Amino acid sequence: MSGETISLTLKIWRQKGPSEKGHLETHELDTINTNMSFLEMLDVLNEKLTIEGKEPVTFDHDCREGICGMCGAVVNGIAHGPEIETTLCQQHMRDFKNGETIVIEPFRASTFPILKDLMVDRSAFDRIIQAGGYTSVNTGSAVEANTIPVAQHLAEQAMDAAACIGCGACVAACPNGAAQLFVGAKISQLALLPQGGAEREKRALAMVECMDKEGFGNCGNERECEAVCPKGISIRNIARLNREYLRAAVTSDR
C-alpha cells in the first residue's frame, strides 16, 4: 500500500458490557498508512492488541463500502469523523495529522445502549421500520415499474430520501437524541410516491408513535443531524414528516 505513514495516539472507549462502567484507553500506533480507511486502522490496533495478549476493540462493521450503515463511532466529537457525507468505513487516515491524538467513542444516545466498546444497539430503528415503513401488495404478482407514472421531481426527492442507510449518526449528533431525520426520510420516500399512498396516514401515525415509544427526543432544529449524515439527507424531510403526521392526525380514522 503506497502512501505516507503517520504516528497516532488513540484514546478509545472500552466497555465490557451494557451494565459495566466504561473508560477511555490510550494506545500508540506507529507507521499508519495514510491510504488506510479508519476501520483498517482499527484492524491494525486490534492486531497489535492480539499480539500483546489483550482483548481487541469491538466495533460495528459489515460492507466497508459506505452502503450498509453498520459502522459508526464518534471521532473527535463528530459522528463518522471529520469528512463530510462520509461513513466511518470510508473515512481515510490522510485526513489526520502525524502525531495527532484521536478520541474515539461510541454513538451516545439513551436509545442506542452500548453493548461493548464501540458497538451500540440500534434495533430501535428496526422497530420503527416494522411499525409502518413499508407498502403492501396484497394480491397478484409485482406491478410493472412503469405502470404508474411518477413526476420526475417527486421521483428524485423520493430517491434522495431513500438514500438513508439508518446508521444512527443523526441521533448521536442531536443534542436531544432525536430521530426525526431518520423517520422523516423513511416516511418521505414512500409518501412522495403513489405506491405509498394507500397506507400514508397509517404509516405516519404508526412510525411517529413507535419513535416516541422508543424514547427518542424532540427535534430542536439544530441541524446537527443534517451536518453529520453520510448520505446528505436534508432536514426538509423533517418538515415533510411534520406535515404527514398532522395530515394523518386530522384525516385518519385509525
Which CATH fold topology does 123-251 show?
Fumarate Reductase Iron-sulfur Protein; Chain B, domain 2 (1.10.1060)
**Beta carbons of 168 and 178 less than 8 angstroms apart:** no
Q: Which residues of the chain have a pLDDT value below 50?
A: none
Domain residue ranges in the chain: 5-115, 123-251
Predicted local confidence at residue 38, as pLDDT: 98
DSSP the chain: --S-EEEEEEEEEE-SSTTSPPEEEEEEEEEEETTSBHHHHHHHHHHHHHHTT-PPPP---SSSSSSS-----EETTEET-SSTT--GGG-BGGGS-TT-EEEEE----TTS-EEETTEE--HHHHHHHHHH-S----SSSPPPTTSS---HHHHHHHHHHHT-----HHHHHSTT-B-HHHHHHHHHHHHTSGGGSTTHHHHHHHHHHHHHHHT-B---S--HHHHH-TT---THHHHHHHHHHHHHHHH---
Residue recorded with cell 450498509: 68
Nearest alpha-carbon partner for 177 in 112, 241, 88, 230:
112
Predicted local confidence at residue 142, as pLDDT: 73
Predicted local confidence at residue 212, as pLDDT: 97
Domain 5-115 indexed as CATH 3.10.20.30: yes
Predicted local confidence at residue 18, as pLDDT: 95
